[in-house]
Structure 1
Amino acid sequence: MNLINVMPFGQIAEITGLDPFQLTAADTDEIQRLLTSRFPELGNKQYAIAVDKVIVKENTVLTSGAVVALLPPFSGG
């Protein structure tokens, strides 16, 4: 397992009540499972996941020290 730095933003940070924190996880699917277990309200929220500043759409393997950002929906133009 890898120690991952998690950075929640916007409404995700409000739900977690946490500034950046750490989790131990092997991939982004596991991060989502851990977050939903710890913060059930996230189960019905949409958010994007970025790994080391790159938004990922599919399960991504994480390396120790990776930074995972949880990004709420945003709009603009």
Structure 2
Amino acid sequence: MMKIRVLSFGGLVEIIGKENMIEAIDTDQVVSHLEQTYPALAGRKYVLAINEQMKTENTLLQESDVVALLPPYSGG
């Protein structure tokens, strides 16, 4: 497994903090680890971005990847 940098934004920062380092091989493991460690995250709506690219399916990660958790947002 590799150390992956995980960033969170918006209301998710209150749950998991701004930045975490975790070990994972894919995005499913990232989500599983975070939801087990921070139960309040389970059931929340968010999308993942890897290196600023939004992902909708499980994706393998590289050692230098940055995974961001992005909550829903609206603009005006």
Which residue identity lines up with residue 13 of structure 2 in the other structure? Answer: A
Unaligned regions of 5+ residues in structure 2, if any? none
TM-score by length of 1: 0.93
Q: How much has 1:75 moved relative to structure 2?
A: 1.5
% identical equivalent positions: 39
CA distance in 1, matches of 2:53, 2:2: 18
SS at match of 1:44: coil
Which residue identity lines up with residue 9 of structure 2 in the other structure? Answer: F
TM-score by length of 2: 0.94
The equivalent of 1:5 in structure 2 is: 5
Count matched residues.
76
Q: Give every structure 1 segment of 4 or more consecutive aligned residues whose post-TM-superposition deviation is greater than 6 Å.
A: none
